[in-house]
Amino acid sequence: MSTNDNHAHPHPVEPILPPMHAQDPVPPHGDHGDGHGHGDHHAEHGGGDHGHDGHGPTSFWSKYVFSVDHKIIAMQYLFTGMLMALIGGFTVYVFRMQQAFPDAHIPGFGVVSPDQYNMLVTSHGTIMIFWVAMPVLIAAFGNFLIPLMIGCDDMVFPRLNRLSYQIFLLSAIILVASFFVKGGAFGGAWTSYPPLSAKGAYNTTSLGSSMWVVAVALEFVAFLMGGINFVTTAMNSRAPGMKLFDIPIVVWFIVIASIMFMASVGPLFAGAVMLLFDQQLGTAFFDPVRGGDPVLWQHLFWFFGHPEVYVVLLPAMGIVAEIMTTFSRKKLFGYKTVLFTAVATGIIGFFVWAHHQFIAGIDPRMASLFTVTTLIISVPIAEMMFVYIATLYGGSITLTVPMLWALSFVAEFLIGGVTGIFLGAAGADIYFHDTYFVLAHFHYTFFPIAIIGTFAALTYWFPKMFGRLMNETWGKIHFWITIICFNGIFIPLFLTGAAGDHRRIYNYKLFPEQMHPELQDLRVMATVFLVIMLATQVIFLYNFFSSMTRGKKADANPWKANTLEWVAPSPPPHGNFAEMPNVYRGPYEYGTPGRADDYYPQNIPPGAG
């Protein structure tokens, strides 16, 4: 494949010098000529003096709006995800205030009606999963990191990359627009169970529910395009000398997550089409009165929905691995074990979906099978957690802000994993189902993924993204308040859920048997901590945006890390590298005997430096 066919540069490129690896053979490092073909593709991308500096797009529109540069597209995903997070944060503020102070006038919103409450709860879950976690963890950091970490100049399909973001942006616009149509946004929960979601008479948001389905379907299309790019780039555009086991673990995890997404999303996409037909054309795929099956949607949704947890978990765990090795100055304990474990997790993740349906009337014998598979999948996840702890053991640990986030990820996610064991047992789940215990468990898994993982990545790669350092003091203040408040929100909700507090209740006063007056103080406590935590994010936003222009300038490798993104200038220019790198070793060679520095970048030839 030629460069023009494969890379589609929109700008003139200077003649490419003969590839470096053709002039200067790479010293032996195992089987460098491993037959993967990445060396030839790398030559197409411009081995040697790349000559990209000064040849990028020059106009504002071509550089920042219609760019095909993977770094700009990453920023587009990142800032869109941050904007959607603000909307998702506002929705949770409103409905938690309603929980703590029923029927009160909520500052910034007003009095919440039952329909508005349903809309807010639905929008919060939908936005935080599909329009925050996925675009930030997978699309933003996948786009930014993969070409830099494997030593190439861009994605192999840059125009497809641009189209994926444009479709994603369209999906976000449709979702936000649904707030302003007649009836308002969809209010049938983020899982969109029919028949509630299939009939406007039931959910009172006929147009909003269809816009929700269309937005989700478009978002899936966008991430299918992105996944194709991620997998193809990582497998075909690696720097000369970079074997499969020299790829940084975060790149592997994004690739595995992309494959999981592509393998699981098809049934739900088909289900979304069927649901849209039920809503707008009067079909009866999910209407039991006319022979449809509403439980079919649950199977289609959760066959995607549970692998989706690992789709966003794996990139977050890869981010944590990169940070822990850097700030413990230790080689990742069991690199191959972690990688194979992630593959096993991806496979087993397709056999646990029905643990969400223990009270949906499925065959009890099938429920027992899914109880077993749910317990089995906890084993590889626990193994990865303990591998990370083993990586820390004996290391020279530096508690920077990124490291604090990485350590808190392990601590908080373990709580989510342990509480999930209760819910994986069919007998216990019958009691806990749809209580705040489930909600607290879910947030102890998803908050570390979507929020802690994102903060860890942003604070770690901020110098590479913007060429400056964030303020450590403000970063630590933001970290501690956020983590304390997070636990202050959800530990009380574990208690209310264990006491039988049912979720998605607009006003407990309307249901005396659900009121539990003795639990109201805990509901208020959780809400107060939530408001404090949301307000604390102003500290992060100030630190983030002010550091872009006023932060201390960062050199190319401020953390003294080994992976290839730290070889490029900070921030990387169009084309990433002034001289395309060769790879001589794995990504986590810290404390190499006989070497003065305690790190050994992948691109440094043996005996040099």
Q: What is the pLDDT of residue 153?
A: 94
Q: What is the pLDDT of residue 265?
A: 96
Residue 44, pLDDT above cutoff 50: no
Domains with residue ranges and CATH for the chain: 3-566 (1.20.210.10)
pLDDT digits (tens, 9 = 90+) for 371-387: 999 999 999 999 999 99
Predicted confidence (pLDDT) per residue in 253-264, tens digit: 999 999 999 999
Look at residue 11 in the predicted model and tell me its pLDDT: 38
Copy the structure tokens of residue 260: 């999981």
Provide mean pLDDT across the span 434-443: 96
What is the mean pLDDT of the segment spanning 410-437? 94
pLDDT at position 402 over 60: yes
Output the pLDDT for position 60.
82
Average pLDDT on 401-420 reads: 97
User: 574, 577, 578, 576: which is closest to 56 by C-alpha?
Assistant: 574
Average pLDDT, the chain: 90
Determine contact, residues 553/467, Cβ cutoff 8 Å. yes
Query: DSSP secondary structure string, 128-183?
Result: HIIIIIIIIIIIIHHHHHHHHHHT-SS-S-HHHHHHHHHHHHHHHHHHHHGGGSTT
Residue 590 pLDDT more than 80? yes
Q: How do residues 104-161 score in pLDDT, each as one tens digit?
A: 999 999 999 999 999 999 999 999 999 999 999 999 999 999 999 999 999 999 999 9
Tokens of 187: 């209010």
- How much of the chain exceeds pLDDT 90, in percent? 84
Confidence of residue 609 (pLDDT cuts 50, 70, 90): low
Residue 14 pLDDT class (50, 70, 90 cuts): very low
Question: What's the pLDDT tens digit per position in 191-208?
Answer: 999 999 999 889 889 999
492-536 confidence digits (pLDDT tens): 999 999 999 999 999 998 988 888 899 999 999 999 999 999 999
Mean pLDDT, to the nearest integer, of 414-430?
Answer: 93
| pLDDT recorded at residue 175 | 98
The pTM is what? 0.90
Give pLDDT tens digits for 548-585: 999 999 999 999 999 999 999 999 999 999 999 999 99
Q: Which of 462, 303, 325, 311 is nearest to 390 (CA)?
A: 325
What is residue 25's DSSP assignment?
P
Looking at residue 331, the DSSP 8-state letter turns out to be P
> Nearest 5°: CA angle at 54, between 52 and 57?
90
Task: Write out pLDDT tens, residues 207-238.
Answer: 999 999 999 999 999 999 999 999 999 999 99
Report pLDDT for 451: 98
